[in-house]
Amino acid sequence: MNDGEVDRRIADRAAADRQYNDALTRVDRALSQLGDPPPAGLPPALDVGPIRDRAVILPATPPNGAGWRGRLARFVWRIVAPVFTRQEELNSLIATHLQRVSDTLQRLATALPEARADQRAELERFVSFNSILVQYLQQITPYIDTKTRVLETSLEEVRMAATTAQRAAIAAKRQLDEVGTPHPLHAVPFPDAAVSGNGSSAGADDGGFGVGYLGFEDLFRGAPADIRARQVDYADRFVRAADVLDLGCGRGEFLDLLRERGVSGRGIDLNGEMVEECRGRGLHAIQGDALGYLQSVPDGSLGGLTAFQVVEHFQPGYLVRVLNTAHAKLRPGAAVIFETINAACWVAYFESYIRDITHVRPLHPETLKFLVVAAGFEGVDVHFRSPIAEGGRLQRVQFNGLPSSVTDLVQTMNANVDRLNERLFTYLDYAIIATKGR
């Protein structure tokens, strides 16, 4: 799995986690909060006595006065008595119904506290269940993560074993095929072939650890298609060049790109399996030491020189000799590219550099730039490559809506986050690109 894929998966996982937690928060906030219980005591009963007293409109008997006034009153009473009698009946019915309503409300009011208590208990049980449910859902992610890690670890082990077995089988077959007929280029002598500037070995005995290193490249550096994609812009810089030398050509991805552009190129690598991999695809590759080969070619004969993820395998004195010799062997105006792991980036150092046991010395961008300038190259520039995805960086805290007493603390923390990101989570690789003066 290459670094870009790792960053993409980290970003996808972080986004999924945010969505998952946001969903749980919405579930939790959707619950109604428990209100205060109703006040103690019952409402007063409705007194319908005054209503019944006012329901009687007519006297119980007609008026019995004498004279014309008495006769007039009895005449009027006979006329209005039927109407007011019906009104009195209606009033009595209303008073009776109001009494029934009052009695019903009293019974409901008596039962309401108990019903309210039952409802509150039920709601409390629901809230408790929801809390338990949310806690359970929050445990799903770490539970699944543990299972996923176990599965990924097992699959990674299977991949490693399969890759190593495949490369060992290929190597064994080639050795059987070549018994008694060694390739003439395997024995090319190189002066000072494996000696660095301080008298120690320039790298491993065979460009790494033999067959295993090719499998290591397949597993950790990335698929050839991914490496090609990262080197396309490098190859475009040599479209008008010829006789380009790729130091530590590995599986030959850059040589493929040169060939597609009609640029003559050749590679050199200490690892015989890497060289055979290149030759199997019709590429011009030689097994040998970088410095030894450079010393063997005429001055001014190379039209360009590249070294991708190689210089970190060199001892300091050996690297200086390679740079000085390369300057002498290049034609005026020829370009050089030295790409390596960005040791100034925390992730690059701990996730890439120390994982490869064939690495000798990390190179800070300013250090390698200084060495290239000191070797006589011009227009020396640092190009940072493979930025770490946003999901793999430390995240700032949003402080909108927070109290002012907290804002200053959050801003200070965000400033520290930015400072750490600038130093620890920047670019995985960098390239020094320069030219030989005319």
Q: What is the pLDDT of residue 396?
A: 85
Residue 167 neighbours by CB distance under 10 Å: 21
Residue 196 in this model has a pLDDT that exceeds 50: no
Q: Give the three-state DSSP class for 128.
A: helix
Q: What are phi and psi of 192, to 5 degrees?
A: 50, 40
Q: Name which residue leads in pLDDT, 82 or 327.
A: 327
Residue 373 in this model has a pLDDT that exceeds 90: yes
**Pairwise CA distance, residues 28 & 181, whole Å:** 75
Q: Give the three-state DSSP class for 200.
A: coil
Q: Name which residue leads in pLDDT, 403 or 214.
A: 403
- The structure's pTM equals 0.54
Q: Do the beta carbons of residue 56 and residue 90 sit within 8 Å? A: no
Pairing of strands 330-341, 378-387: unpaired
Could you please state the CATH topology (level 3) that the domain comprising 182-435 is classified under. Rossmann fold (3.40.50)
Handedness of CA 358, 361, 365, 368 (dihedral sign): negative
- What is the per-residue pLDDT across 96-115, written as a single tens digit (0 to 9) for each? 887 788 778 878 878 777 88
Compute the average pLDDT of residues 428-432.
95
Percentage of the residues of the chain whose pLDDT score is greater than 70: 66
Q: Name which residue leads in pLDDT, 146 or 182.
A: 146
Q: What is the pLDDT of residue 370?
A: 94
Domain ranges of the chain: 3-28+48-166, 182-435
Phi-psi region of 252 (alpha: psi -120 to 50; beta: other; left: phi over 0): left
Q: Give the three-state DSSP class for 320.
A: helix
Q: How high is the mean pLDDT of the chain?
A: 77
CA-nearest of 298, 296, 272 to 285 is 272
Lowest mean pLDDT among 362-366, 391-395, 401-405, 413-417: 401-405
Query: 9 falls in which pLDDT band (50, 70, 90)?
Result: low
Compute the average pLDDT of residues 237-241.
95
Q: Do the beta carbons of residue 98 and residue 46 sit within 8 Å? A: yes
Residue 201 in this model has a pLDDT that exceeds 60: no
Q: Which of 59-63, 143-147, 270-274, 299-303 has the highest mean predicted lDDT (pLDDT)? A: 299-303
Percentage of the residues of the chain whose pLDDT score is greater than 90: 32
Pairing of strands 302-308, 378-387: unpaired
Compute the average pLDDT of residues 427-435.
95
